[in-house]
Amino acid sequence: MANPIITLENVTRTFQVKRQVIRAVDDVSLSVCEGEIMCLVGESGCGKTTTGKMIAGVLPISSGKILYRHQSIDMLRSDDYKKYRLAVQMIHQDPYASLNPAHTIFQIIAAPLRHHGFTRDEAHTQARVRELLQLVDLTPPEDFLDKFPHQLSGGQRQRVSIARALTVNPSFIVADEAVSMVDVSIRISLLNTLTKLKNAMGLAVLFITHDLALAKYFAWEGRIGVMYLGRLVELAPAHELVESPKHPYTQVLLSAIPEADPEVTRRKKHIQLRSMDVPSLLRLPTGCAFHPRCPAFMGEVCEKVRPELMPADGAMVACHLVNRKT
Ligand code: SF4
């Protein structure tokens, strides 16, 4: 495996809700290597955004360990911790809220360049801002420099957010539902820009989405991790996960993706869940948390014993049915 930039070892994050403790992320372990694309997918509340925030250092972990280039981030001294915080940048879901409405695009992008000393003088700052706007396909840059965020479309604002993240020469981008608030027609073009940047700059990208179809498109060369109620239930190379999904939850998600050809969609076998209700994190089911909904439910073992993430034919899967076969 290539060199991991970020490694999670048994990471858990709990929150206190009405005198109860919920485990938003529960015992998650994974690595993301240099230049790699990894997608985390799952329904709302599965812990994918919390995982992304912990990786980016904006939310502390409750237990476990996060390693940045093999060193625990808790043990990093101030200079190294600053390097880690600059190297790992986050692009947020909402391009409307994440940009200061009172600043021009030039000011938004120039501020981190100046603050972190990435430019020598004003001429260098001016040139670098133009270069970054071009990199994210906001061309010609002169058309955008003096505009305010409200004068741009959602897709253009998200490109500004990406340009701002690139100001500090990161090696890892956490893109949290980064295209979900823009029009469908713009999504693919934004994903193509991210792919271009990844290839040009050797960036690793953790792409967080509830949309497995988007994950499939974006991470075809990378890996996909599927989360359910705080736990990682399947992790595999994207093509393998899509062509041969092993966990029943992954199979359900894939069966719900519409195909380009309506006839193929009509013929596609839609897997029925046993229940449509997603259990609350406040009252997690015992054993396998997916058991009340699982179409492959096997009775007592699923109800009572929590399945661990284990190797299964090139993937990692947490399911008694799969783990029994391998
Ligand atoms: Fe379904 Fe049992 Fe596998 Fe859970 S462990 S996904 S309930 S078969």
How confident is the prediction along the chain (326 residues), in pLDDT tens digits per residue? 578 999 999 999 999 988 899 999 999 999 999 999 999 999 988 999 999 999 999 999 999 999 999 999 999 999 999 999 999 999 988 877 889 999 999 999 999 999 999 999 999 999 999 999 999 999 999 999 999 999 998 889 999 999 999 999 999 999 998 777 777 778 888 888 889 998 999 999 999 999 888 888 888 889 999 999 999 999 999 999 999 999 999 999 998 887 767 777 777 777 888 888 889 888 999 999 999 999 999 999 999 999 999 999 999 999 999 988 76
* b/e burial code for range 266-280 (CB count within 10 A of at least 16 → b): eeeeeeebeeeebbe
Between the CA of 291 and the centroid of ligand 1 the distance, in Å, is 6
pLDDT of residue 88: 97
Cα–Cα distance measured from residue 306 to residue 302, given in angstroms and rounded to the nearest whole number:
7
Q: In 3D, which of 68, 19, 50, 33 has the Cα closest to residue 231?
A: 50
* Tokens, residue 308: 């661990």
Nearest to 12 by CA among 61, 67, 58, 54: 61
Looking at the domain 4-243, which fold is it?
Rossmann fold (3.40.50)
Q: Ligand 1 test: best mutation among 227, 301, 320, most atoms within 8 Å of CB?
A: 320
120 CA to middle of ligand 1, Å?
Answer: 57
The Å distance, Cα 160 to ligand 1 centre, comes to 43
Q: Which of 229, 246, 310, 321 to mutate to test the pocket of ligand 1 (most atoms within 8 A of CB)?
A: 321
Say if CB 181 and CB 214 are below 8 A apart.
no
Decide if 218 contacts 194 (C-beta within 8 A).
yes
SS3 65: strand
Ligand 1 pocket test, pick from 228, 232, 294 with the greatest ligand atom count within 8 Å of Cβ, gives 294
Please list the alpha-helical segments (H only) found in the chain: 48-55, 78-87, 105-115, 122-135, 154-166, 184-201, 212-218, 238-243, 248-255, 262-267, 300-304, 320-325
Residue 36 confidence (pLDDT): 94
Taking alpha carbons only, the member of 198, 190, 104, 197 closest to residue 155 is 190
How far apart are the C-alpha atoms of 235 and 220, rounded to whole Å? 13
User: Is 298's C-beta closer than 6 angstroms to any atom of ligand 1?
Assistant: yes
pLDDT score recorded for residue 326: 67
The answer, yes or no, to whether any atom of ligand 1 lies below 6 A from the CB of 172, is no
Cβ–ligand 1 contact at 319 (below 6 Å): yes
110 CB near ligand 1 (under 6 Å): no
φ, ψ (nearest 5 deg) of residue 36 = -90, 150
Confidence (pLDDT) at 144: 97
Prior bond of 149 cis (ω within 30°): no
Q: What is the pLDDT of residue 188?
A: 86
- For the chain, the domains span 4-243, 246-326
b/e sequence 133-153, b meaning 16+ C-beta within 10 Å: bebbbbeebeebbeeebeebe
Residue 256, pLDDT score: 84
Q: Are 268 and 255 in contact (CB under 8 A)?
A: yes
Asked if residue 132 has its Cβ within 6 Å of ligand 1, the reply is no
320: Cβ below 6 Å to ligand 1? yes
Answer for the pair 232, 225: CB distance below 8 angstroms, yes or no.
yes
Residue-level pLDDT at 1? 54
Residue nearest to atom 3 of ligand 1 (CA): 319
Ligand 1 atom having least distance to the Cα of 248: 6
Q: What's the CA-to-centroid distance between 235 and ligand 1, angstroms?
A: 16
Residues 6+ apart with CB under 8 A from 61: 11, 12, 13, 54
CB count within 10 Å of CB 224 equals 29
- Report pLDDT for 67: 97
Among 298, 305, 310, 323, which residue has the most ligand 1 atoms within 8 Å of its CB, making it the best to mutate? 298
